[in-house]
Amino acid sequence: IHEPRRVRESRFTQKVAQIVRRGGRCLLPVFALGRAQELLLILDEFWEAHPDLQHIPIYYASALAKRCMSVYQTYINMMNDSVRRRYDVSNPFAFKFVSSLKSIEHFSDTGPCVVMASPGMLQSGLSRELFERWCTDKRNGTILCGYAVDGTLAKHIMTEPSTITRADGKELPLRCSVDYITFSAHSDFLQTSGFIDALRPSNIVLVHG
């Protein structure tokens, strides 16, 4: 069962702020589309309301997410009421405190920051590289915001292991904080059962995918 939306957003922003305020790097492994833009919108709004955080950079590191950002910036009429109201002032997807990170070579890893990188399950790529770089420092933190399947590193670190295995096979101590705050787009039990109760169908067919 999902937590109420406001509770999840508050937990998410407070946890991000907690990590960077203690001098850490905050890693957000995400899928490139949908959830990434949603979380960036939440963070940009939170940073705007908290001047003490505005010197701390927020990056999103996904070429696909960057290419799709123009779609989000264009089709504001397809968004919810809150986003459309904000558009009357300025385009909410023209972020003030978020910038795109082209590659790890363009990243100056010198202090507290927030980095949103794919893939969401930490199997490989930039999110895996940054996690392996940062996981040994207790000041740092990783927040998992999406679903993780068995057998992936993201699922494994939810069990709070003392060590993790790097992609090259070397063992590393896991000292950074790990939190799971789901922003899943799937309906939960109450929503699904409520939908079925409202329809009262004579048959229910379950289909995967």
Give catalytic residues, as residue numbers: 186
Contacts 24+ apart (CB under 8 A), 2-10: 2/182, 2/184, 2/188, 2/191, 8/181, 8/182, 8/183, 9/42
- What SS3 class is residue 28? strand
Token couple for 186: 């799937």
Residue listed under structure tokens 């927040």: 143
Angle at 85 between CA 82 and CA 90, to 5 degrees: 115
Token couple for 12: 């998410």
Q: Of 156, 153, 147, which Cα lies nearest the Cα of 167?
A: 153
- What SS3 class is residue 35? helix
Token couple for 119: 């893939």
